[in-house]
């Protein structure tokens, strides 16, 4: 995910470059994989593990949805799935008790706003 964030940052800095076009082709698949990763990382972190992977997956999604072209390339069904997953974690009463729980809740909220602002 760290490498993917780096690639997203580079493509965003050169929006007319071929890297952005390549990312757009795979944006839906990327977001679908990351949506599945949200559930797995949060479940794992609830067992007392570090919340670092939660932060990475949310940051990678944030990098994706900060770019309107990438956000628009994500299909509605994938968005529905992602939004549902994020809302479930926003409403989960266990999240504030996780390692860095308040930061995770803030990140979930900000990500949800970015999705609503930039997705189709």
At a CB cut-off of 8 Å and minimum separation 6, what does 47 contact? none
**CA-based R_g, the chain, Å:** 14
The parent domain of residue 57 ranges over 2-118
> What is d(CA 19, CA 48) in angstroms, rounded to the nearest whole number?
38
Reference 70, options 1, 10, 108, 42; nearest CA is 10
If you count DSSP H runs as helices and E runs as strands, how many of each does the chain have, helices first?
6, 0
Confidence band for 11, pLDDT divided at 50, 70 and 90: confident
- Rounded to 5°, the CA angle 89-99-34 comes to 45
Tell me how many domains the chain contains: 1
- Inform me whether the pLDDT recorded for 15 exceeds 80: no
- Rounded to 5°, the CA angle 90-114-47 comes to 30
pLDDT digits (tens, 9 = 90+) for 30-88: 999 999 999 999 988 888 777 889 999 999 999 999 989 999 999 999 999 999 999 99
């Amino acid at each position: 995910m760290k490498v993917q964030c780096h690639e997203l940052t580079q493509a965003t800095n050169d929006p007319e470059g071929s890297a952005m076009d390549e990312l757009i082709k795979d944006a839906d698949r990327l977001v679908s994989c990351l949506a599945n990763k949200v559930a797995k990382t949060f479940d794992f972190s609830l067992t007392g593990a570090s919340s670092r992977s939660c932060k990475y997956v949310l940051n990678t999604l944030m990098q994706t949805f900060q770019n309107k072209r990438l956000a628009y390339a994500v299909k509605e069904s994938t968005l529905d799935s992602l939004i549902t997953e994020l809302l479930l974690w926003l409403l989960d009463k266990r999240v504030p008790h996780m390692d860095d729980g308040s930061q995770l809740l803030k990140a979930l909220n900000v990500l949800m706003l970015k999705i609503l602002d930039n997705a189709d």
